């Protein structure tokens, strides 16, 4: 019987942003490059992660990080005070939720 999947390891991470320092490029439509997964982690508060196609929204909290598939257009919408960071992976960052791309 196989054990639990090994957690993915990020190869890079953004700075930690708050509601004042979050750059415009993250507040507007953007995407990761081909083969790069993002994982939006909220350290305090919450944010809304909005995907463009297909349209969807996800509330991201301290206990509920959000994977961002390669090349999916998205942006971050503020809902109040927060601290967040984006980690970057070469595979799905939460394998128990979806496996590799």
pLDDT in tens, 60-100: 999 999 999 999 999 999 999 999 999 999 999 997 665 44
Q: Would you say residue 7 lies in a domain? A: no
At 10-37, the pLDDT tens digits run: 999 999 999 999 999 999 999 999 999 9
> What domain count does the chain have?
1
Domain range for residue 47?
12-93
Q: Would you say residue 18 lies in a domain? A: yes
Contact 83, 41 (CB under 8 A): no
Give the model's pLDDT for residue 1.
Answer: 46
Could you tell me the pTM of the whole model? 0.88
3-class SS at 85?
strand
Fill in the DSSP letter of residue 27: H
9 token code pair: 């390891």
Contact 13, 59 (CB under 8 A): no
**Rounded distance, CA 84 to CA 80, Å?**
12
Q: Would you say residue 89 lies in a domain? A: yes
Q: Would you say residue 4 lies in a domain? A: no
Higher pLDDT, residue 19 or 8: 19
Q: Would you say residue 47 lies in a domain? A: yes
21 token code pair: 């320092």
Q: Would you say residue 49 lies in a domain? A: yes
Q: Would you say residue 67 lies in a domain? A: yes
Q: Would you say residue 99 lies in a domain? A: no
CATH at residue 69: 2.60.120.10
Higher pLDDT, residue 1 or 57: 57
């Amino acid at each position: 019987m196989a054990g639990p999947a090994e957690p993915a390891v990020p190869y890079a991470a953004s700075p930690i942003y708050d509601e004042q320092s979050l750059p415009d490029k993250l507040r507007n439509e953007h995407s990761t490059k081909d083969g790069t997964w993002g994982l939006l982690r909220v350290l305090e508060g919450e944010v809304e992660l909005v995907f463009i196609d297909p349209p969807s929204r996800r509330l991201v909290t301290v206990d509920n990080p959000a994977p961002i598939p390669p090349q999916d257009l998205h942006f971050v919408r503020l809902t109040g005070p927060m601290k967040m960071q984006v980690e970057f992976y070469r595979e799905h960052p939460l394998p128990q939720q979806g496996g590799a791309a």
